[in-house]
Amino acid sequence: MNRRTTALAPVSRRIALGAALALTAGLALTGCGGADGKPQLSVSGAYMPQPITEQMAGAYFVVKNTGSTADKLTSVTSDLSKDITLHKTTGNKMEQVDSLPVPANGELTLSAGGNHVMFMGLTHKPTAGQKVTVELHFATADPVKVEVPVKPADYRPGK
């Protein structure tokens, strides 16, 4: 009887030590990323195909999140238009959405035929070689300003 109780003690001490180590490791990992659990966003590959008319334009880019917290692209603002919406494409139908998810340690990709930003009623018609300034707004992260280069209408990245 007595031997049994004393034998249990070192085991629970080992568990406690293990838990303490796991906690320290977790803290070290968070510190390593220089983050306090916030999304860490960067935008790349932005472009806008030269719009055909002043009625409508689209823009594409990739939002990379190196943080361990997911975020959402909630809106886009620009001098180019007051009517800017987020769209996703399902099959060959596009649909307006309130937000687009930016996964933790992942990417949100906007590309021709997929997710895109749509600008209606343009204040002017941008031409290839120009840049359009847009500001991306997120649920959690600070807004990101992007200079979007205008490309020829038939431009496809990587070609």
Point out which residues bind Cu ion (CB under 5 A): 87, 94, 118
Give SS3 for 159.
Answer: coil
CB nearer to Cu ion: pick between 89 and 140:
89
CB nearer to Cu ion: pick between 88 and 137:
88
- Residue 155 has what DSSP assignment? -
Please report how close the Cβ of residue 35 comes to Cu ion at its closest, in angstroms: 33
Q: What distance in Å separates the CA atoms of residue 75 and residue 98, rounded to the nearest whole number?
A: 8
CB nearer to Cu ion: pick between 83 and 107:
83
Please report how close the Cβ of residue 59 comes to Cu ion at its closest, in angstroms: 11
Please report how close the Cβ of residue 118 comes to Cu ion at its closest, in angstroms: 4
Please report how close the Cβ of residue 95 comes to Cu ion at its closest, in angstroms: 8
The helix (H) or strand (E) run that includes residue 19 is helix 2-32
End-to-end CA, the chain? 78
Closest CA to 155 of 116, 111, 101: 111
CB nearer to Cu ion: pick between 62 and 94:
94
CB nearer to Cu ion: pick between 117 and 141:
117
The count of other CB atoms within 10 Å of the CB of residue 110 is 22
Residue sitting closest to Cu ion (CB): 87
The count of other CB atoms within 10 Å of the CB of residue 12 is 9
Please report how close the Cβ of residue 76 comes to Cu ion at its closest, in angstroms: 12
Q: What distance in Å separates the CA atoms of residue 152 and residue 154, rounded to the nearest whole number?
A: 6
- Residue 143 has what DSSP assignment? P
